[in-house]
Amino acid sequence: MSNKEISLFASYISEVMTIVIAFHQLGYQDFKTYYIHFVCR
C-alpha cells in the first residue's frame, strides 16, 4: 500500500468510528434511524 492509500484508509476508519461513537452516545435503538437522521443530512 502506498502512503496515500494508508492515509485514505485511516481517514475512512476515523469517520466510521466517529459515527459509531455518536450512535452509542445518543442512545438510538437502531442504527438505520440514527443514520437517516444524522449521517445522511
pLDDT of residue 24: 92
Q: Look-up: residue for cell 502512503? A: 3
Strand, coil or helix: 5: helix
- In the chain, % helix, strand, coil (3-state, to 5) comes to 80, 0, 20
pLDDT of residue 11: 87
pLDDT of residue 22: 92
pLDDT of residue 4: 82
Q: The pTM is what?
A: 0.70
pLDDT in tens, the chain (41 residues): 788 888 888 888 999 999 999 999 999 899 999 989 888 87
pLDDT of residue 2: 86
Q: Do the beta carbons of residue 31 and residue 23 sit within 8 Å?
A: yes
Domain boundaries, the chain: 3-39
